Amino acid sequence: MGVKSVDRLALEFISALGMPPVEYVELAAQLGVAQVGMAPSPIAANPYGYPEWDLRRDPALLRATKASLAANEIKVSLGEGFLIMPGIAIADAQATMDVMAELGAPLVNTVVIEPDRQRAFDQFAEFAAMAKVRQMTAAFEFMPMMWPINLTEAAEFLEESGVSGAKLVVDAMHFYRSGSTLEDLARVNPERIGYVQICDVPMPAINPDYGAEARDNRLIPGEGDLPLAAFIAALPGTIDIGLEVPLSARAAGGIGPVELLSPAIAAARVLLT
């Protein structure tokens, strides 16, 4: 077992590129990371060719994942896999919510891509209620593709939704690509920020496919143009920081998971010291 980190660092789920969950937890332990983000099934590219898996449909795998977390003294920092969007009812995500509660996630995150504002508010309120009954906190993550398009609009969304205690997940890529600033961050109630994700990217964007870049090919902190040190310094000092660095192209080139992620973890730890 690797040496556990003593900082706020978590390894985000898409950084593992579809690795099955037991192996993912063991990878985090080997890398010395004591927290992991988790999703119920793969949501990024699969350059390593892992078999398909789904924690919602495989009770034995869910039990094994829970046992691996306990054995490796690793906690789930964030539960992913929730969408608020047209044609999808958040109530249909009960099984995903149950998985995250079983794994001990304190926070569950949804992405809002619903142009009907009232429906977005209603669905988020339902999502928050689903989380609360399972003793988890609801959060949502904005991205610069549709409303809420930046940090200011995201903070306004939380207030207008009327959901008490809900949080924001602030992703450094989405933050800077949306044109948000540290001045914007300073105007947000720090109690509303529940979680932060870091990576690096070029500024301005080079890849015209924003979604593909975000899911599959980001950069290790220090390789791009984001002022991550200033970003982290402007955040609440106790907040967990998830390292979200899917590096699919490098993995497809033959670099294994440990070799792939070790430099990213080292770079993130420098930022957190």
Q: Residue 109: pLDDT above 50?
A: yes
Cβ neighbours for 58, distance < 8 A, ≥ 6 positions apart: none
Residues belonging to the chain: 273
Using an 8 Å Cβ cutoff, are 117 and 147 in contact? yes
Mean pLDDT is lowest, of 97-101, 146-150, 192-196, for: 146-150
pLDDT of residue 273: 86
Q: Could you report the per-residue pLDDT of 173-190, keeping only the tens digit for each?
A: 999 999 999 999 999 999
**268 sits in which H/E element:** helix 257-272
pLDDT of residue 22: 98
Written as one letter, the residue type at 122 is: D
The region, left, alpha or beta by phi > 0 then psi within -120 to 50, assigned to residue 214 is: alpha
CA–CA distances in Å: residue 32 to residues 91, 183, 265:
36, 34, 9
If one counts every other C-beta atom within 10 angstroms of the C-beta of residue 131, the result is 27
Identify the band that residue 39 occupies on the pLDDT scale cut at 50, 70 and 90: very high
Which value, to the nearest 10 degrees, does the dihedral of the CA atoms of residues 123, 129, 131, 137 take?
A: 100
In 3-state terms, what secondary structure has residue 138?
Answer: strand
In the chain, pLDDT over 90 holds for what percent of residues? 94
CA distance 8 to 255: 26
Q: Could you report the per-residue pLDDT of 202-258, keeping only the tens digit for each?
A: 999 999 999 999 999 999 999 999 999 999 999 999 999 999 999 999 999 999 999
36 bridge partner residues: 11, 76
Q: Residue 6: pLDDT above 50?
A: no
Helix 117-133 to helix 94-102 angle, to the nearest 10 degrees? 40
Helix 59-71 to helix 21-31 angle, to the nearest 10 degrees? 10
pLDDT of residue 146: 85
CA distance 32 to 117: 42
Using an 8 Å Cβ cutoff, are 176 and 143 in contact? no
146 bridge partner residues: 144
Q: Could you report the per-residue pLDDT of 59-86, keeping only the tens digit for each?
A: 999 999 999 999 999 999 999 999 999 9
